[in-house]
């Protein structure tokens, strides 16, 4: 078995988690709402590999349901614990990208094991997103350098990078 594979049966979460066969796509249901969370390997920001994260469900459907946030966080933590790096870009199509960024940052700040992870957040006129990785990742300093290089390349919108830990 690949060390990067995650078996949902081994994950303890508020809601039962299921996984698509042969893909890093997980899902769980809350009442009639299904949440899908996919991790797609890419080199979105540079040379190093990232897992782009896609959460398919508007979280306002179960607003205030802490178990939804906890279940999503547990799935994400299991990916990060496999020495993978998550890249997230907040969807801008409905104009709620700033709210999504704020939600991600709030989740990040309030979850346990704050000394283990870092979020490098990009906020500009065009892009709201960032990366999340473990501080113990073997290529930690290389990822920090790559994010700094990405920041420098974005001269149009002049984003700033915030270093936050949870």
Contacts of 43 (CB under 8 A, 6+ apart): 49, 50
Domain coordinates in residue numbering, the chain: 8-165
pLDDT, tens digit, 9 for 90 and up, residues 11-64 = 888 999 998 887 888 989 888 888 888 888 877 666 778 888 877 665 555 666
The pLDDT of 1-11, averaged and rounded, is 63
What pLDDT was estimated at residue 17? 92
Beta strands per DSSP E along the chain: 18-19, 25-30, 33-42, 50-56, 86-89, 117-123, 128-134, 160-165
- Please tell me which residue, 54 or 118, carries the higher pLDDT value: 118
Q: Residues with Cβ < 8 Å from 40, sequence gap 6 or more? A: 24, 51, 52, 54
CATH number of 8-165, picked from 3.40.50, 1.10.286, 2.60.40, 3.40.630: 3.40.630
- pLDDT, tens digit (0-9, with 9 covering 90-100), for 83-115: 889 888 887 778 878 888 887 787 777 765 567
Cα(113)–Cα(165) distance, integer angstroms: 9
Q: How far is Cα 144 from Cα 120, in angstroms, rounded to an integer?
A: 8
């Amino acid at each position: 078995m690949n060390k990067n594979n995650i078996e949902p049966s081994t994950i303890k979460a508020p809601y039962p988690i299921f996984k698509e066969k042969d893909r890093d796509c997980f899902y769980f249901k809350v009442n009639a709402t299904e949440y899908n969370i996919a991790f797609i390997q890419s080199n979105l920001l540079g040379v190093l590999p990232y897992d782009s994260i896609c959460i398919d469900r508007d979280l306002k459907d179960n607003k205030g349901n802490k178990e939804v946030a906890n279940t999503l966080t547990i799935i994400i933590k299991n990916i990060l614990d496999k020495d993978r790096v998550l890249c997230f870009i907040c969807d801008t199509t409905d104009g709620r990208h700033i709210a999504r960024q704020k939600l991600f940052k709030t989740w990040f700040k309030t979850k346990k094991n704050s000394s283990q992870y870092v979020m490098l957040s990009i906020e500009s006129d065009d892009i709201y997103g960032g990366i999340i990785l473990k501080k113990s990742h073997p290529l930690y300093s290389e990822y920090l350098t790559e994010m700094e290089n990405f920041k420098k390349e974005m001269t149009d919108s002049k984003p700033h990078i915030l270093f936050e830990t949870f």
